[in-house]
Amino acid sequence: MHTQVAIVGAGPAGLLLSHMLRLAGISSVVLERGNRDHVGTRMRAGGLEHGAVALLEKVGLGQRLKDIGLIVEQTDFRFDGQGHRVDFAGMTQRCFTIYPQYEIVSDLLQAHAQAGQEILFDTPVTRITGVDTKQPRVYFLKDGQEHELSCDFIAGCDGYHGPCKQAIPEGVLKVYEENYPFAWLGILAEVAPPSLEVAYSCHERGFAMSSFRAPEISRLYLQCPVDDKSDNWSDDRVWSELHTRMDVPDRPALIEGRITQKSVTAMKNFVIEPMQYGQLFMAGDAAHIVPPTGAKGLNSALADISILAPAFSAFYQRGDRGPLDRYSETALKRVWQVQRFSADMCTLLHRFPDTSEFNWRAQRERLRYMTTDPTGALTYAENFVGLPFEEPA
Ligand code: RFL
């Protein structure tokens, strides 16, 4: 088997890349460890920056997004018993769109099916070789048998735990990592949020957040200990803690509903440099992770592809390898801006277990500055709606 670009991973990054390559007439094969159901139903991110929406529209994936995406124009920050709204859309003339990750994946799977482009599910990649040669190879299992795919390039879109980055030699790869001393209990509930806005709460008992995935589906989060388990959280305990942390007199109280999912997620920043080596190009969570406080993980994965797909086009259509050679440098500029914003939001909104009274007091003053001072609010607004994406040709 041979293809031009072998793509490891059928998450949003891998699927968008193969979709954009097909539009440019470049062949690719997507190899995915999980099965189709697993890939299509994963409940993860929910919000798209304006640049991500523009990119999806440009590559023909804008219709359902337009039909069912929900526009958000302001964020409500709650602290010291009060709500403080930041009208980010008014400040930037851009909005944020709630469109769950599983909908993007579903649109991409549908586009692949319509184009007759097969995705190889249940095919875990075991190793890749020859990334510093003209003919790298990807080895994968299918029905227990090892198979080999030769290619011109490999795109490592295999998430944080995937195998591709291991092909970059130790002396070349630099890993930056920050782990936080708390986690998030993520809750999915069948109930409409009190209003269609994202609300963050910085409370002395810990961070809480109210968002949504659809008009009748709330997505809620509670800061919890790093080693916590979702079994420790009965539904009553979840709602009681959410009310304590989220409800303030000047905002409608949270409405309770049937909880359908609870899971604990660790918080970390992680970046590898460079994001490429030889014929291997890393994208999305495989190359960088952010704590989800700034809603950037999915957006960053799509932003990488907005750079990588046109770089492959430049190579195959014009014989110009320059954009590919500069991919890591170009992508990392945006990646680090997103890391900086996500780390700031994470630090600003959580209650650190060992924080001093001084830091806790100063933390809320930083929040007050960000929500009430025009300069502070504009800085938040510009970062939240998103830094520019590369414009695909
Ligand atoms: P993905 O989605 O992890 O896809 C990687 C794919 O690679 C496959 N894979 C392999 N395939 C073949 N062989 C192997 N050996 C393989 N090893 C791995 C995996 O099965 C998988 O299908 O990465 P991608 O495409 O880079 O997309 C990134 C996004 O998924 C991610 O950034 C966001 O979901 C992060 N994230 C959130 N981001 C937000 O912006 N807002 C959120 O609210 C938010 N919530 C979340 C999240 C991530 C979560 N995870 C990962 C724990 C909530 C959760 C629970």
Closest CA to 153 of 324, 4, 307, 1: 4
Kindly tell me if the per-residue pLDDT of 390 is higher than 90.
no
Per residue in 345-370, pLDDT tens? 999 999 999 999 999 999 999 999 99
For ligand 1, the distance from its centroid to the CA atom of residue 45, given in whole angstroms, is 9
For ligand 1, the distance from its centroid to the CA atom of residue 65, given in whole angstroms, is 20
Per residue in 228-282, pLDDT tens? 999 999 999 999 999 999 999 999 999 999 999 999 999 999 999 999 999 999 9
For ligand 1, the distance from its centroid to the CA atom of residue 317, given in whole angstroms, is 31
Kindly tell me if the per-residue pLDDT of 306 is higher than 70.
yes
Closest CA to 301 of 338, 344, 264, 276: 338
Instruction: Answer whether 158 contacts ligand 1 (Cβ < 6 A).
Output: yes
Per residue in 22-52, pLDDT tens? 999 999 999 999 999 999 988 888 899 999 9
Each domain of the chain, given as residue ranges in start order, spans 2-71+96-178+268-351
Kindly tell me if the per-residue pLDDT of 393 is higher than 90.
no
Average pLDDT over residues 380-390: 91
Mean confidence (pLDDT) of the chain? 96
Kindly tell me if the per-residue pLDDT of 187 is higher than 80.
yes
State residue 42's pLDDT score: 85
- pTM summary value: 0.96
Instruction: Answer whether 98 contacts ligand 1 (Cβ < 6 A).
Output: no
Instruction: Answer whether 9 contacts ligand 1 (Cβ < 6 A).
Output: yes
For atom 23 of ligand 1, which residue has the closest CA? Answer: 159
Strand ranges in 144-257 using DSSP code E only, listed in sequence order? 145-156, 174-190, 198-203, 206-214, 217-224
Instruction: Answer whether 193 contacts ligand 1 (Cβ < 6 A).
Output: no
CATH 3.40.50.2300 assigned to domain 2-71+96-178+268-351? The reply is no
Instruction: Answer whether 274 contacts ligand 1 (Cβ < 6 A).
Output: no
CA atoms within 13 A on the CB side of 154: 35
Query: Can you tell me which atom of ligand 1 is nearest the CA of 15?
Result: 25
State residue 127's pLDDT score: 95
CA distance 90 to 101: 26
Kindly tell me if the per-residue pLDDT of 392 is higher than 70.
no
State residue 300's pLDDT score: 97
